[in-house]
């Protein structure tokens, strides 16, 4: 171990105590400087976005719940169109489906002769029976 002729151990103990005291004490900051620093920090801080307020729950009717259960407005419109098309096709049957019952015999059996006479203007003339 070598000793430094300029510095002694007593000086080291005094410096250690002095540094410990300096670390423990807060540096004095003037109030005006602290206000300016805090004002500058507040000016550079980003603005807080407004809080999102949850909307009040809306009461929905049973019709809206039924529409959503079936798939929405588009799905219900498709169901309605398909239902109306089925009713129309069932009501206005082509005459060829109702005229001939037996495919094996050469003689056709007329099922609805009154309907054929009633709707004769909508049916092609060759399918309307004579008489």
Q: Is the pLDDT of residue 59 over 90?
A: no
* Range of lowest pLDDT (2-11, 27-36, 71-80): 2-11
Range list of β-strands (E), 12-123:
none
Q: Does pTM top 0.85 for this prediction?
A: no
- DSSP, res 105: S
Tokens for 124?
A: 């092609």
For residue 99, the tally of other CB atoms under 10 A from its CB is 19
- Cβ–Cβ < 8 Å for 109, 100: yes
- Tell me whether residue 80 is in a domain: no
108: confidence class by pLDDT, cuts 50, 70, 90: low
Which helix (DSSP H) or strand (DSSP E) does residue 41 occupy? Answer: helix 31-44
Number of domains into which the chain is organized: 2
- Tell me whether residue 70 is in a domain: no
Average pLDDT, the chain: 76
Domain of 116?
93-131
Ramachandran class of 71: left when φ > 0, alpha when ψ lies in -120 to 50, beta otherwise = left
Q: Is the pLDDT of residue 49 over 90?
A: no
């Amino acid at each position: 171990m070598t000793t430094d002729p300029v510095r002694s151990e007593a000086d080291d103990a005094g410096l250690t105590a002095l540094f410990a005291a300096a670390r423990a004490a807060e540096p004095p900051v003037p109030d005006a400087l602290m206000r300016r620093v805090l004002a500058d920090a507040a000016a550079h801080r980003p603005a807080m976005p407004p809080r999102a307020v949850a909307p009040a729950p809306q009461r929905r009717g049973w019709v809206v719940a039924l529409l959503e259960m079936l798939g929405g407005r588009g799905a219900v419109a498709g169901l309605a169109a398909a239902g109306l098309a089925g009713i129309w096709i069932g009501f206005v049957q082509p005459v060829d489906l109702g005229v001939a019952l037996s495919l094996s015999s050469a003689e056709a059996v007329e099922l609805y002769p009154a309907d054929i006479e009633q709707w004769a203007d909508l049916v092609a003339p060759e399918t309307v029976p004579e008489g």
